Chain A
Amino acid sequence: MIQKYFKNWCGERLPLDTIRNHFKNKFVPRHRHTIWYYLGGLTVFFFVIQLLTGVLLMIYYKPTMEGAHQSVVYIINEVPFGWLIRSIHSWAANLMIATLLLHLMRVFYLQAYRPPRELMWMSGFILLFLILGFGFTGYLLPWDDIAFYATQIGTEVPKSIPLVGPTLVALLRGGEDIGEATITRMYTLHVFVLPIATLLFVGIHLFLSQYYGASKPITTRPKGKDIPFYPNFVLRDLRTWCIALILLIGVAILMPWGLGEEADILRPAPEGVKPEWYFIPMYQTLNILPARILIFDGETILNSVLMIGGFVVFLLPFLDRKAKQRERNKFILTAGTLVILYCIVITVSAYI
């Protein structure tokens, strides 16, 4: 009775029938790559977990040099289930980046970025940078020694960008060195600026994905009839989320996220300081690159290559000349595969 009244009340005020009809008429292609369609939803799922656990951590965290590390110790030791919430937050962050990278690779290999989905690719690419930004800004917040030195290395990288480099570093650090101002800035970016920007772009990305629907790969044969989005695919998404939740809680409980020694700016850097795994390709390339190549600085060359490369990937839908003929672009696929292989090899070599 109440349910019916509420349904009617909402139906008179909101376009519920239009939404229902949209979902009823939406279908997801069924082929041997259908499994990869779950990665986008999985990334959103981890993002929601990040928002929820992040809010809980914010209640106790103190973004100051004196308070940061001690407040994290307090969260782990004193707050009921604090260790679990922090562990889930840290593990989900890594899993979110992993699923996002896999989702990006799925779109790239199935060439789903092609027209009319250019805006989806571009909004997704911006989301990748925002999510990496979360990782970078969140890494310093526990204020332990590894985080401190990794951030020092990380914030040093933009220094060699011509014209804007030193200003960018000063803007990130809030001064010449990492200190109180850096924590405050990273915290503001991590809990306010990046979440708002990410929610905006996630909204745009989801709207576009509903508008265009799932792309059909050009060379893959269909495997039966399409799957209705609602309820069939939504339930499959829920099933994936349940499995992800079990795995996430499992690793968070059995391998709780640790905490290093409190950062001391006067102490020399400990051995084996590395950034998070998703920044390793850039960090390792910087290590193997000579300090000077001809008349140019090694770091400047790397920054320039990364900026040009990023710009090329961002504009990929417009550069793919075979999109109109609906053929596989072997050049783009080979180039992308080489870059991915390089990143995997160099990341693995950093840990061996």
Chain B
Amino acid sequence: MYAKMIFTIFVGTSLLFSLDTGPNTVVCDLVVMQVQAGQNNIETKIEFPSFEYRINLLLYFVFPVLILLILLILKIRQLDLHLDDDSRTN
């Protein structure tokens, strides 16, 4: 049951990622760090995606994990109700 649940959530998320092209269109402009590449004087810079893009990414990722977390908490609560009936006594 758990395997099916996890599989469904992650396949669903992957499909969502593959279908959605929205965040990719955002120009990467937020963090730009100028880096001098040693003695060769080759200028290189590292660029991180924009804040907006990263927030979208975070939401896409966090959402399925949150669903999984809620399902787990519900299952744990359900199991805990029966804990005193069938677990080992000290």
Contact = CB atoms under 8 A, between A and B. Distances in A.
Interface residues of B, number: 36
A56 interface: no
Interface string A3-17: 000000000000000
Interface string B41-84: 01011111100001001100110011011001101100110011
29 contacts: A27-B87, A27-B88, A69-B44, A73-B35, A73-B45, A76-B46, A76-B48, A83-B46, A222-B90, A225-B83, A225-B84, A232-B80, A235-B72, A238-B72, A239-B73, A245-B65, A246-B62, A246-B69, A249-B61, A249-B62, A253-B54, A253-B58, A253-B61, A256-B31, A256-B54, A262-B37, A262-B44, A264-B39, A266-B39
Contact of A235 (B46, B49, B75, B90): B75
Interface of B: 31, 33, 35-39, 42, 44-49, 54, 57-58, 61-62, 65-66, 68-69, 72-73, 75-76, 79-80, 83-84, 86-90
A228 B33 CA distance: 52
B87 A227 contact: yes
Categorize the interface residue count of chain A.
35 or more
Nearest to B35: A261
Given A83-B49, A232-B79, A242 B62 contact: no
A242 B69 contact: yes
A304 interface: no
A69 B38 contact: yes
Contact residues of A: prevailing secondary structure = helix
A254 interface: yes
B31 A261 contact: no
A259 B39 CA distance: 17
Interface in A36-81: 69-70, 73, 76-77
Contact of B72 (A222, A239, A249): A239
Interface in A226-278: 226-228, 231-232, 235-236, 238-239, 242-243, 245-246, 249-250, 253-254, 256, 258-264, 266
B46 A227 contact: no
A235 B38 CA distance: 50
Contacts of B33: 258-259
Nearest to A264: B38
A162 interface: no
A1 B16 CA distance: 30
Contacts of B37: 69-70, 73, 262
A224 interface: yes
Nearest to A256: B48
A83 B83 contact: no
A77 B61 CA distance: 21
Nearest to B75: A235
Given A76-B46, A77-B46, A239-B72, 17 more contacts: A73-B35, A73-B37, A73-B44, A73-B46, A84-B57, A222-B90, A225-B83, A225-B84, A228-B86, A228-B87, A231-B79, A235-B75, A238-B72, A246-B66, A246-B69, A254-B54, A259-B46
